[in-house]
Amino acid sequence: MFERDEANPPASGDPSGAPSDYLARAVAACEAGDARLGLHLYLAAFEQASEASEVPSEDAIMGLKQAWRVACATKERSLAEYIFGRLEPYLSHDEVAACTSQLQGLAFDRLEEFGISRDDLEEMSEAISQDVMGLMAAPPLIIGGPAAPAVALAAPPSSERDVLEQPGPPVGAPEGGAEPQPVDIYTYDTVPGYGAVVERMRSLGIGLAGDASFGEFVAMLNARHGFDAMPMVDTLLFCSPAREDASRFMMATVGELGLPAVRMRMEESFQGVPMLCVSAQAADADKLAGLRRGFEGGGVLVLEDLDLWGSPLSEAADDMAGLLMAAMSRGAREAVNLIRQAVENPDVYVLASASSAEAVDPFFLDMLYPISCIDIDYPTPAERDDIWMDLARSHPSLRALNRDELVRLSANLPRYDIYMAVREALEEAYKQGLVERRYQPVTRDNLFDKLAAYQPLDSAEYAELENAVISDFAAGLGELEDLL
């Protein structure tokens, strides 16, 4: 063993000795018919060369290219992806395109092993694209509204089919042929606590559709300036530290406009992959069926939580933007084109929400320009008073509580947190009433406990709420001792 080591001393003075040895062994393994061993030896040669120098030698790069050829020939898709990641910095644009095409071919071949052909994939992607952009079976626009009934995929028997095909009254319509009630949509009158923001929107001409004096004023301006109609407002970006507050007011703005609306939001699939979801109210499906040609007859485009959207071109150079745009899927390209058409169309309102304008990717800011930012801060004391009045009207069990005290102790809370705290207190009182088999109103300590859970720990309101809950608890213990 020692004689063998002396016969082959390590080339310590030659840093390329080890990579060249791996390359020689890789060539010998491939010539002997062991392609898998040769593939790993080529990879080992490149790794050794990368450790020895920041820029691998030409022989190591050529060996890595040979490893790529072997991986593609043996259909080692996972290794081919790894090799492509290591090899990409040393390839030209044409070579990158060719390698990408080969990787796609390996992926298709892998799917064909499971019985899925390329034609099946193309038909599937075409069907998904048409369903998303056609919006023929989209869910309702308003969260929490009544959903559309499920559509049966299997055809009914012939005896039932004749009955189903006969025209009849709408589902849920009362006897006598009366039309069903439309789905409730938020308006500025149904979302209390936004007084300052509503005034800002009315200064832009939104929310005054039924005001006769404003209509006369607009008619006078049109006559004086020679316009046929009021100019379209800029893209409206609703910014709030509480996303739910911005989203709710944005949907109230959609209700004030009274136009067909398309809603886009980013969600994650079960695999954690971000997806752009496009939806519309079911009643507007017929009006929005031609979205491939853009909005016809006006409408509203709603972009939710725009600061959470990731731009595919955010880290690309200007000369690569066209290439990446072409590499996007068909659905993504149509979504981007739909946004651009909506911004350029004077009959379309574009509304977006975000935590702040600075958090939005510049790619989308440029696409939506010009933009008017509508800041929605935490509610003022007067707005909180409106919120508690609205809650008392909707929930009579809250009316025994001191509204002035609730207005003061709900400072620093967004509107959404106030509603959630009240919801939790109502549910607890309801469940307690079920257990005791009697009506149990919302008590002061119950609601204070829920509000304290949403207050910052270092706030004066949290300290006051905590002390109030402790005092009420101590008073209850004193009454219990008196009874005993």
The residue type of 433 is G
How far apart, in Å, are the Cα atoms of 118 and each of 130, 131, 302? 18, 20, 35
Spatial distance between the Cα atoms of 36 and 210, rounded to a whole number of angstroms:
76
Structure tokens at 140: 């309702």
User: pLDDT truncated to tens, each residue of the chain (484 aa)?
Assistant: 334 343 344 444 444 457 888 888 888 888 888 888 888 888 888 888 888 877 788 888 888 888 888 888 888 888 888 888 888 888 888 888 888 888 888 877 777 776 666 666 666 656 555 544 444 333 333 333 333 333 333 333 333 333 333 334 444 444 444 444 444 567 888 899 999 999 999 988 888 877 888 888 989 999 999 988 888 888 999 999 999 999 999 999 999 988 888 888 888 777 777 777 888 766 665 655 555 455 666 789 999 999 888 765 544 444 444 444 444 556 667 778 888 888 888 888 999 999 999 999 888 889 899 999 999 999 999 999 999 999 999 999 999 999 999 999 999 999 999 999 999 999 999 999 999 999 999 998 899 999 999 999 888 888 888 888 787 666 656 555 555 5
Among 484, 425, 412, CA closest to 454:
412
Q: Which fold has domain 195-375?
A: Rossmann fold (3.40.50)
Structure tokens at 260: 């067909």
